[in-house]
Structure 1
Amino acid sequence: MQEDLRNFISPEKLNEKDLLYILGEMPEIRFVSVAGVDLMGHETDAKIPVEIFIENIKQFLHGNAVSTDGSSVILPDIATINNGKIDMKADTSVKWWIDRNKDNIDSVTGLPVCTLKIPCFLIHDGQAVDSRSILKRAVSHFQAEIMSLIRKYPETVAGMNIIPEEIAGVEITAATELEFWARAQEDNLELEELSASQELKEQYWARTQGDIRTGLEQTLTTMSEYGLSPEMGHKEVGGVKSRVSRNGARQSIMEQLEVDWRFDHAMQAADNELMVKLIIRETFRRLDIDVTFLAKPMEGLSGSGEHHHMGVVLRLKNGDKINLFTGNEKHFLSRWGYAALMGLLHNYEIAVPFIVQSNDAFRRLKKGYEAPICIVASLGRTLEIPSRNRTVLVGLIRDATDPFATRFELRSPNPHTNTYLAMATMLQSMLHGIRWALNSDKNEDQLLKELCKQPGEQADYLEQTRMYRCEDDVFTAFTDKQRDVCFGRVPATVWENVQSFDLYPEKIPVLTAGGVFTPELIHSFRVAVTEKWRVELEHRIIPNFIKEIRSMCCLHQGGGNPGDDKRWQKVQALRYQLMLELDGRPGIFDRIHQAFDKNDLQTASDTQKIMYNAMKNLRQCYHEYRNHILD
């Protein structure tokens, strides 16, 4: 237990007596930090001297730990300038982390100065309004509703050889897979070199070397010390082999990595992800390697995903556990599992704004990058041999020899997805499908038949015009037009994504059921994500594009070689189209700025797509021009 106490404090120890004992035994803990998570996934951090915590420990544990004016969190139209008070209430149901600063050694103990990180809820006008509280409500609502449905329809668990009275509770298990890029001194790496390495899959699961190996090994070791149970760390498909200078030092590091760790209950799983990111950043920073969790750090290269896994287990009073989704020998899933999957797919349009919420995320979700852009699932080609289809939105993970392995893998999230909100929408969506199936007295055969329907076939729950199961590669088996018909039109920008709230008003009650989301929270999130879209586009993406365009210089002199002038003219035409006014028509960048000035968000969104296409063409033209320069 002492080993555990070095890095985290378990929920059963989060009481006044045990905390005071631990703090007395660990004088290197000099600060506490209250860590709430706002609607955009930003986690707060404030250094409070531990003496203040000890003096006010009852208030920290049972009241409002800290209050702020709301300027430190993103809760638009909730924490307003004239009503911005936010109270922070400690969560004693999860681990409290001990965060070590290895760059700051305590002069008394000789140990790194530590901060006790306290996960919190954000309270405004007496209501919890943060991401963690939304997930907490979703978990409680899901658990209560499942127990209620089991009591109402005991025959639905009879095939599992149990009766409702034997069930002690419902557990939601969750985990995430985290991909990221590690880079240092990569300026001299050519995009073509990186892209070729990716296409050849030279880096995927290759042996790590040098500082990358050290960083990955230290990350996994630290995760173990924090009780995070790492399962694997490996190189992903992106990147190139790092180069070695004459003195033996590695340079030009640009590699994509992935780390995976063991599942936990939903709230702890989301907290674990934030801690893993902190460990990764700090570990690689000490090696002078920058880490980015952007979904698409470089155009033309593999993006980073963060697949979300979720399952449901019944905990029996005798201590046994049963996977609620595992099917019998004739089915991929139980009726509970089929219904949950149908709920995920049917309600994805109103869940996706919370899952894919940035410009960067949409640059990742494009056809041809094995990214899930279609609302479709895969169950596997046969019952006997589970398979994986990386082109679908939701995959069924199962092991014929292990019933506890059955779970769903949502493939659209990325490392910047707000995991708390993503998991909350998953639970609400699954519950909607389960409630419909049981209230409609649907059995496994009927549910599987509807899940496997073809476009145009009759459906009682799913959309009649669509199909929802595919075991083929959706990018090669269908044309663009066929995909739109079979799976629905895919949003291409943040603005198109949030329009789902207006296009599917009948599905909003799925989110608000049980008071999990409120209309005020949905509105606040929508305002926040729309403003983030605008600011990123105007003040980050366009300025970066301008720098890139200005770097595309004319490389030939005089007449040059045959074709040089013509190829350069193509480049120039696109540069002008993007940046300059021609024949009285503003350049693309200016048209976006003007649209935002007029609050014409639809035009800004449409022009953003034109901008991306123009930049893609410009890069291709400049690449062709530069590659044909002889002298």
Structure 2
Amino acid sequence: MKELIYYINPKKMKTEEIKKILEKHREIKFVSLISVDLGNNHTDERIPIENMLNDINAFLTIGAQTDGSSVNLPGIAEINNAKVDLIPDLNCKWFIDYNSSNIDESTNLPTGTLQIPSFLKHESGYVDSRSVLKRAEKYFNKAILSLLKDNPYYLNLLGLKNIDEISSVELTSATELEFWVKTPDHRSDIEKLTTSQTLKEQYWKRTIGPVRTALEQSLESLNKFGYEAEMGHKEVGGVPAKLAGINKYSHIMEQLEIDWKFDNVMQTADNEMMSKDIIREVFVKHGLDITFDAKPIEGVAGSGEHHHVGVALKLVNGKTINLFSPINMEKEFLNPIGLGALMGILKNYEIINPFVTSSNDAFNRLKVGFEAPICTVCSLGHSPETPSRNRTVLIGLVRDINSPLATRFELRSPNPSTNTYLTLSSVYLSMLDGIESIIENKMDYETAYNELNKENNSDSYYLEKNRKYRSEEDVFEFYSEEERNKFFGKPPRTVFENISSFDIYKKKIDVLTKGNVFTKEILNSYKQSITSMWTTQLKNRILNHNINLIRRYKKLHGEKDVTDLDIVNWEKINSIRHNLMKDSLNNESLFTKISKAIDSNDFEKVSDLQIKMNDDMISLKDLYQIYKHNLLEFVD
């Protein structure tokens, strides 16, 4: 069988070389231009490959057109001005997606589709998530070189004497993808999952059966596409599968994680987007359902997608140095530039978070007790010579004392639905804001280190006075909720509270709009997109889901073996049920109030009512469990 190809690197090839490859591999029948709108949806279409090969130069320049109905760009691609062009990106990997169910008769090979990551161009310019990241990368690189050129003191801290020693600046990143797999139609037992999670019975344990096979094949598939997969393992959530026959398993319910190596930020974001389709197809072939939801099961660990971010300087002599690493790794955590970058993320996190946590599902994950970061606080480690990892903070320093190139930051708040393109864009622009402050204030290591370690209500050069930004403690055990809110800021509880940061922190928004990276048009469009998805999901999915749950909370006791406690518990349960969903002539239920507030676009009221609903649903679930556990038998 002729060997299939899985990716093409166009920036290392001439157009004619690309054409020869495609003409040689006639099993590649289609081309798809993959663009990502502001709602994190990516396009996928089938264009006969001949349309590309007939005039490849024109295709790569002009791309294809759409009427905008396939993308989510409110306020930009409106119904009366919907023309959007998909323009191929020639500076990233192109992937080939093979359909094993569609064998080409002429080649006896699976039919392939060339997937080209692309940009969206409207009359107002490039308006997609990938183009925002491209502008952020370009602006960051130019600004860093200018800052180092004008401030040789910081150039010397990197072991350099002249700006001409630097060939280029490269923003590097990697993501860690967590997800849940299960056998179809299998209902989860929350108590078993919670107990197993508490005992860490599944964490990094051996996979078996179809999960093991699918995990191994996923890693192999990712490597075919040039991902350089590093590791796949069980995460904290899950319960052991049951043997249902010879080599057959049932009741599979497991949480997994797959990681791959660092790359430049654009390629990392593309990899993260494409990987989900690759992994999903492998697991589905083995009869397993897979979900990339942030919180697929209430009361059990959700799925994160930690983003690692760093900056490398490529030198003319061929060497690479880390922009954040100090010369003496044993005495200092970071150099002043690295400390500034970290402070920039912390100070501006209110305008980063709307890109990180943008859905109802994502907010369900951010709960105390599940190692999910809810406090805007960092960790450096207990000392420079002994690096450590604090899993309770928002962002931590990752370093290897023997490998300065490994120095980076791990942002722990993202989840699999996070828009990686927009998140990385806002993170690097915020880094730049902190670096500029360090250099403008001429801070050395000690001054910058003291700035990051400031106490609450102490004066500072850059960070906010009434905040604390570093902790090496378990922030959930060491601080009370009141102290966490006081020191690290009160975290948003709903999509509306989060997206409102764009209006509340107007000065911080300037960090995003520098260099025209995030235009006001794009920020407004993103806000509309996220608000619409929030209210639509709330009204049409969450309310219906909660209604179905409430209807399952039925009276289970009769007159036999019933106690006064059972009666009291049921009365409490029934009262909550009625308050949540039962209307009367004189009183509207909470669900009805939410629905009406959505219809009237009273988003602040919707947000407040959603918080009340979430609290009541948790109380209802907990109380019903107590009620059931006290019954000797159930009455139909």
Taking structure 2 as the reference length, the TM-score comes to 0.97
CA distance in structure 2 between the aligned counterparts of 1:232 and 1:359, rounded to whole angstroms: 30
Q: Is residue 432 of structure 1 aligned with residue 430 of structure 2?
A: no
2:343 maps to what in 1? Answer: 342
Instruction: Indicate if the aligned counterparts of 1:186 and 1:254 stay in contact, CA closer than 8 A.
Output: no
Bigger drift between 153-162 and 516-525 goes to: 153-162
2:607 maps to what in 1? Answer: 605
Deviations 1:390-417 (A, max 9, x none): 1111100001111011001111100000
CA distance in structure 2 between the aligned counterparts of 1:218 and 1:101, rounded to whole angstroms: 16
Instruction: Indicate if the aligned counterparts of 2:244 and 2:250 stay in contact, CA closer than 8 A.
Output: yes
SS at match of 1:475: helix
Instruction: Indicate if the aligned counterparts of 2:379 and 2:471 stay in contact, CA closer than 8 A.
Output: yes
Instruction: Indicate if the aligned counterparts of 2:209 and 2:247 stay in contact, CA closer than 8 A.
Output: no
Deviations 1:68-113 (A, max 9, x none): 0111000000001110100111100001101111121111211110
CA distance in structure 2 between the aligned counterparts of 1:171 and 1:534, rounded to whole angstroms: 39
Q: In the TM superposition, what is the alpha-carbon distance from 1:3 to its structure 2 partner?
A: 11
CA distance in structure 2 between the aligned counterparts of 1:599 and 1:525, rounded to whole angstroms: 17
Deviations 1:95-144 (A, max 9, x none): 11011111211112111100000111000005000000000000000011
Instruction: Indicate if the aligned counterparts of 1:177 and 1:258 stay in contact, CA closer than 8 A.
Output: yes
Q: In the TM superposition, what is the alpha-carbon distance from 1:552 to its structure 2 partner?
A: 1.8
Instruction: Indicate if the aligned counterparts of 1:135 and 1:423 stay in contact, CA closer than 8 A.
Output: yes
SS at match of 1:122: strand
SS at match of 2:65: strand
Structure 1 residue corresponding to 2:592, chosen from 570, 575, 590: 590
2:363 maps to what in 1? Answer: 362
2:423 maps to what in 1? Answer: 422
- Superposed, which structure 2 residues align to 1:537-556 within 5 Å? 537-556=538-557
Query: Number of residues paired by the alignment?
Result: 629
Q: Is residue 59 of structure 1 aligned with residue 65 of structure 2?
A: no
Amino acid at match of 2:84: I
Amino acid at match of 1:72: S
1:474 maps to what in 2? Answer: 475
CA distance in structure 2 between the aligned counterparts of 1:5 and 1:158, rounded to whole angstroms: 49
Instruction: Indicate if the aligned counterparts of 2:157 and 2:335 stay in contact, CA closer than 8 A.
Output: no
Amino acid at match of 1:587: S
CA distance in structure 2 between the aligned counterparts of 1:5 and 1:137, rounded to whole angstroms: 34
Q: Is residue 72 of structure 1 aligned with residue 57 of structure 2?
A: no
SS at match of 1:388: coil
Amino acid at match of 2:509: I
CA distance in structure 1 between the aligned counterparts of 2:127 and 2:263, rounded to whole angstroms: 24
CA distance in structure 1 between the aligned counterparts of 2:479 and 2:488, rounded to whole angstroms: 10
CA distance in structure 2 between the aligned counterparts of 1:147 and 1:246, rounded to whole angstroms: 63
- Superposed, which structure 2 residues align to 1:195-234 within 5 Å? 195-234=194-233
Q: Label 1:61 to 1:14 Cα distance change in 2 as closer, same or farther (>3 A).
A: farther
Q: Is residue 34 of structure 1 aligned with residue 33 of structure 2?
A: yes
Amino acid at match of 1:612: N
SS at match of 1:279: helix
Instruction: Indicate if the aligned counterparts of 1:386 and 1:398 stay in contact, CA closer than 8 A.
Output: yes
Q: In the TM superposition, what is the alpha-carbon distance from 1:554 to its structure 2 partner?
A: 2.1
Alignment RMSD (CA, Å): 1.5
Instruction: Indicate if the aligned counterparts of 2:366 and 2:374 stay in contact, CA closer than 8 A.
Output: yes
Instruction: Indicate if the aligned counterparts of 2:159 and 2:327 stay in contact, CA closer than 8 A.
Output: no
Q: In the TM superposition, what is the alpha-carbon distance from 1:248 to its structure 2 partner?
A: 4.5
Amino acid at match of 1:469: R
- Superposed, which structure 2 residues align to 1:175-194 within 5 Å? 175-185=174-184, 187-194=186-193
Q: In the TM superposition, what is the alpha-carbon distance from 1:548 to its structure 2 partner?
A: 1.3
CA distance in structure 2 between the aligned counterparts of 1:98 and 1:3, rounded to whole angstroms: 15
CA distance in structure 1 between the aligned counterparts of 2:59 and 2:4, rounded to whole angstroms: 20
Q: Is residue 568 of structure 1 aligned with residue 565 of structure 2?
A: no
Instruction: Indicate if the aligned counterparts of 1:4 and 1:226 stay in contact, CA closer than 8 A.
Output: no
Instruction: Indicate if the aligned counterparts of 1:186 and 1:252 stay in contact, CA closer than 8 A.
Output: no
1:93 maps to what in 2? Answer: 91
Amino acid at match of 1:69: D
CA distance in structure 2 between the aligned counterparts of 1:216 and 1:344, rounded to whole angstroms: 34
CA distance in structure 1 between the aligned counterparts of 2:79 and 2:152, rounded to whole angstroms: 52
Instruction: Indicate if the aligned counterparts of 1:175 and 1:263 stay in contact, CA closer than 8 A.
Output: yes
Instruction: Indicate if the aligned counterparts of 2:19 and 2:53 stay in contact, CA closer than 8 A.
Output: yes
SS at match of 1:245: strand
CA distance in structure 2 between the aligned counterparts of 1:126 and 1:499, rounded to whole angstroms: 25
CA distance in structure 2 between the aligned counterparts of 1:187 and 1:151, rounded to whole angstroms: 61
Taking structure 1 as the reference length, the TM-score comes to 0.98
1:442 maps to what in 2? Answer: 443
Bigger drift between 519-528 and 237-246 goes to: 237-246
- Superposed, which structure 2 residues align to 1:316-335 within 5 Å? 316-329=315-328, 330-335=331-336
Q: In the TM superposition, what is the alpha-carbon distance from 1:494 to its structure 2 partner?
A: 0.2
Q: Label 1:135 to 1:4 Cα distance change in 2 as closer, same or farther (>3 A).
A: farther
SS at match of 1:476: helix
- Superposed, which structure 2 residues align to 1:233-382 within 5 Å? 233-246=232-245, 248-329=247-328, 330-382=331-383
Instruction: Indicate if the aligned counterparts of 1:169 and 1:316 stay in contact, CA closer than 8 A.
Output: yes
Gap regions ≥5 residues in structure 1: none
1:49 maps to what in 2? Answer: 48
Q: Is residue 405 of structure 1 aligned with residue 403 of structure 2?
A: no
1:107 maps to what in 2? Answer: 105
